[in-house]
Structure 1
Amino acid sequence: MSRKVLITGASRGLGYELVKVYHSNNYDVFPLVRNEESAYKLSIEFPQKCFPIIADIGQDNCKDIIKTSLELHTKEIDIIINNAGVSGKEYQIEKVTSEEMLELFNIHCLGVIRTVQGSLDSLCNSSNPRIINVSSRLGSLTKMSSDEFKDRYFSYSYRIAKASQNMLTVSLYQELRKKGIHVSSIHPGKLTTGTASADADMEASEAARYIFEWVDSLSMRQSGKFVEPNVGDMPW
């Protein structure tokens, strides 16, 4: 039986590269995208074993869309990769807006909750279920408070949203370990994407390969951690 993965934020960047690497390793891939154009492009590029889901994780109705879409094709899902995200802008407190803060919290935290809620029944039917939340080194309270990033201008909203997402990972781990579901946060590396930091040094395709290899080897013993694949544990 084919293994199955759901990947959010799958239309570009790391999400797209994850779709490619999982598809090339014979997974049934369920890429979650926000519009029909992105879904069509993926279905043309990957005509077999790829089942795009059109949903916006920023909206509550995505829970039902995910659940219904999965049930059309499978009774189980083995891996959820919560990769969808948006970047922040304002790094000075006098310029921070509630709109930006709410937008990032909605995607990075509530979006993860909605995705898990929509796929939980399918995860529970897997013999090796895993939830992987794509976080960031900027969500590490330890690293941020150490002055490692002194004089670096990272947005309030992104740092706070990722730190909150890390707490969500811990909370999910503490609940879902009773169901045998692995939950981890990852820092994917310093990616050379459109919103890359000045010290970015890794292509998204390389990061996707490392993530695939790491996730493929996971067991429940490694659950509840914050990790940079191919490097090691990250401090919370």
Structure 2
Amino acid sequence: MTHDVRHDASGALMDAIAGRPVDLIINNAAQGASHAGLGSIAAEGVMNAVDVNVAGPLRMVQAILPNLLAAADPVIINVTSRLGSIEAQARGDFADLSTSYAYRISKAAQNMLTVSLAQELAGKVRCWAVHPGILATEMGQPGASKNPRVAARELRELVDSGDRTSPRFVSLGAADLAW
């Protein structure tokens, strides 16, 4: 089943859950925009990225919150990027990358969503922002070498670890990141 996260949860999606507890949700939709200088940035591209990367996960959590709260030990994972770290961006860690404003802004906002969810759902649902690594995918950076299957295995290990930290900004296979 596919679902466009720019829209509210569909009846088919909700029927598939059928009121059952949900232990884990992985919000993995992502949208960027073409890299451009300040004078050429299209506000529509930024808004589209925010809609997919921030409002999309928010819509999904809102739709299944009763199912999450019915689970014994639920986890929300928002797949993010190290590029959403305001601290790292302020240091200039990624100044040499040609990443769009839309992607960086929306991933920083997604990280704030993760923190906000963790604060509201404290003691009920663990909330993690997870940077999977520099994946060799169509959206990946040139020269990216991490196999998505490796990232999936590391993500599974993280979920199975029982880590109670919430919120947490995880970099799979590496040290946690600064917000």
Q: TM-score surpassing 0.5?
A: yes
**SS, match of residue 185 in structure 1:** strand
Pair 1:113–1:65, CA change in 2 (3 A): farther
Instruction: Please name the residue that 1:55 is paired with.
Output: 3
Instruction: Please name the residue that 1:194 is paired with.
Output: 138
Give 1:100 shift.
Answer: 0.5
Asked whether 1:224 is paired with 2:167, we answer: yes
TM-score (norm 2): 0.93
**SS, match of residue 132 in structure 1:** strand
**Distance in 1 between residues matched to 2:105 and 2:12, nearest whole Å:** 28
1:66-85 CA distances to partner (integer Å, 9 max, x unpaired)? 333311xx511100000111
Instruction: Please name the residue that 2:15 is paired with.
Output: 68
Instruction: Please name the residue that 1:234 is paired with.
Output: 177
**SS, match of residue 121 in structure 2:** helix
| 8 Å contact kept, 1:63–1:115 | no
**SS, match of residue 80 in structure 1:** strand
**Distance in 2 between residues matched to 1:126 and 1:68, nearest whole Å:** 17
User: Equivalent pairs: percent with the same residue?
Assistant: 35
Instruction: Please name the residue that 2:128 is paired with.
Output: 184
Instruction: Please name the residue that 1:127 is paired with.
Output: 72
**SS, match of residue 227 in structure 1:** strand
**Distance in 2 between residues matched to 1:146 and 1:192, nearest whole Å:** 26
| RMSD over aligned Cα atoms | 1.5
**Distance in 1 between residues matched to 2:11 and 2:104, nearest whole Å:** 29
Q: Which amino acid in 2 is paired with 1:207? A: A
Give 1:96 shift.
Answer: 0.7
Unpaired runs of at least 5, structure 1? 1-51
TM-score (norm 1): 0.72
Give 1:213 shift.
Answer: 0.6
**SS, match of residue 122 in structure 2:** helix
Aligned pairs for 1:75-224 within 5 A: 75-178=20-123, 180-220=124-164, 222-224=165-167
**Distance in 1 between residues matched to 2:62 and 2:11, nearest whole Å:** 9
Give 1:64 shift.
Answer: 5.1
Pair 1:161–1:90, CA change in 2 (3 A): same
**Distance in 1 between residues matched to 2:117 and 2:13, nearest whole Å:** 19
Give 1:232 shift.
Answer: 2.0
Q: Which amino acid in 2 is paired with 1:186? A: V
Give 1:106 shift.
Answer: 0.3
Q: Which amino acid in 2 is paired with 1:121? A: P
